[in-house]
Amino acid sequence: MNISITKNTSPKAKPDQTNLGFGKYFTDHMFVLDYTAGKGWHDARIVPYGPLSLDPSAMILHYGQGIFEGMKAYRTDDGRVLLFRPQKNLERANISNARLDIPAIDEEFALEALKELIKVDADWIPTEPGTSLYIRPFIIATDPYLGVKPSSTYKFIIILSPVGAYYPEGLNPVKIYVEDDYVRAVRGGIGYAKTPGNYAASIRAQTKAHELNYTQVLWLDGVERKYIEEVGTMNVFFVIDGEVVTPELNGSILAGVTRDSTINLLKSWGVKITERKLSIEELYEAHKAGKLDEAFGTGTAAVISPMGELNWKGNIMPINNGETGPLSARIYDTITGIQSGRIEDTMGWTVEVK
Ligand SMILES: *Cc1c(COP(=O)(O)O)cnc(C)c1O
């Protein structure tokens, strides 16, 4: 399939690289691919970034039949552009598509399209330390129809955003509120898919946590409200008595690429890492016994985000004196080092855009 390119004739001024924040600025172009039942995916194009024209009855607006992904491109010191494990994201896009009954995309073609788009907007990739180009592929159901059914038309779009740190705290620890009232997802539901509904379900609890001066919510399982699942848009890891523990993938947790990378790095370092059920009581007991050494979240946006404090039903658990622990720092330095080309990629994780 050919990709047509229409250049933006009025490019925007680039934002200040030292104050990018997250997801606030968008580049001059976007990739668009249409789907029509009977015809498949068609009309691949790179066009100027701008508003979409959608029918007000477009199904995505009413029933949320859509999926998204998030990954990053980095500019290396010697000027190359690297993607980090993009095939994993495209594979996951199709796992989400299957759950939402959206037709699969061709993962190889999607990677080619992504590379083409990045090349067109390459001068938008920031170079300041800690910055990168965030990539947001997404698919939306576009049938103008108010009945509930799978749409027969879709759009697959990729937009790009130069970003700095996800949390204003950077690698500094964030305070986390353990939510024991609202739940995010249940097994059999859509928790393992990256789909808008999961985030709609999470916003109220996040606002509540913010009001209590916490940065994010730690979710417990939706059935027993007992087992730790994940944080906002991050998977979670705890260092308990020298062993690293992360909740096992159970159908309601998103299988993060950063989670998988962290597990593989820890294994390669000979650190004991266990994927299993972990209850909040067990964590609290470990904390009381002085055995909770570190806690951190993993996700593309923040990469590693240490947790400096947990609040579970008013029980405050400070972790590592509210400071970034050695393992959190080592994982952060290694993953961001590989992503930005500063550390040799012995894992074969990076893909060059050229
Ligand atoms: C995207 C996301 C993650 C992190 O996944 P990565 O592939 O590491 O970016 C974790 N949890 C949720 C709910 C997410 O949406």
Q: How many C-beta atoms lie closer than 10 Å to residue 34's C-beta?
A: 17
Atom of ligand 1 nearest to the CA of 232: 13
* Residue-level pLDDT at 129: 87
Q: What is the distance between the alpha carbons of residues 11 and 101, in angstroms, rounded to a whole number? A: 37
Atom of ligand 1 nearest to the CA of 92: 7
Return the residue whose CA atom lies nearest to atom 14 of ligand 1: 233
Atom of ligand 1 nearest to the CA of 198: 13
CA of 235 to the centre of ligand 1 (A): 7
Atom of ligand 1 nearest to the CA of 234: 10
* Residue-level pLDDT at 165: 75
* Residue-level pLDDT at 168: 67
8 A C-beta contact, residue 294 and residue 306: yes
Kindly state if the Cβ of 256 falls inside 6 Å of ligand 1. Answer: yes
Q: What is the distance between the alpha carbons of residues 170 and 249, in angstroms, rounded to a whole number? A: 27
CA of 111 to the centre of ligand 1 (A): 19
* Residue-level pLDDT at 224: 95
CA of 262 to the centre of ligand 1 (A): 13
Kindly state if the Cβ of 299 falls inside 6 Å of ligand 1. Answer: yes
Kindly state if the Cβ of 261 falls inside 6 Å of ligand 1. Answer: no
8 A C-beta contact, residue 336 and residue 350: no
- In tens digits, the chain (354 residues) has pLDDT values of 899 999 999 999 999 999 999 999 999 999 999 999 999 999 999 999 999 999 999 999 999 999 999 999 999 999 999 999 999 999 999 999 999 999 999 999 999 999 999 999 999 999 998 899 999 999 999 999 999 999 999 999 999 999 997 766 668 899 999 999 999 999 999 999 999 999 999 999 999 999 999 999 999 999 999 999 999 899 999 999 999 999 999 999 999 999 999 999 999 999 999 999 999 999 999 999 999 999 999 999 999 999 999 999 999 999 999 999 999 999 999 999 999 999 999 999 999 999
* Residue-level pLDDT at 169: 65
Kindly state if the Cβ of 67 falls inside 6 Å of ligand 1. Answer: no
Q: What distances in angstroms separate CA 153 from CA 2, 70, 75, 118, one per listed residue?
A: 20, 23, 36, 26
Kindly state if the Cβ of 258 falls inside 6 Å of ligand 1. Answer: yes
Token code pair at residue 143 = 């049938």
* Residue-level pLDDT at 118: 98
Atom of ligand 1 nearest to the CA of 261: 8
Kindly state if the Cβ of 194 falls inside 6 Å of ligand 1. Answer: yes
CA of 103 to the centre of ligand 1 (A): 22
DSSP string across 66-130: EEE--EEEEE-TTS-EEEESHHHHHHHHHHHHHHHTPPPP-HHHHHHHHHHHHHHTGGGS--STT
Which of 229, 300, 331, when mutated, tests ligand 1's pocket best, judged by the most ligand atoms within 8 Å of its CB? Answer: 300
* Residue-level pLDDT at 170: 65
329: burial class by Cβ within 10 Å (0-12, 13-18, 19+)? middle
Atom of ligand 1 nearest to the CA of 89: 7
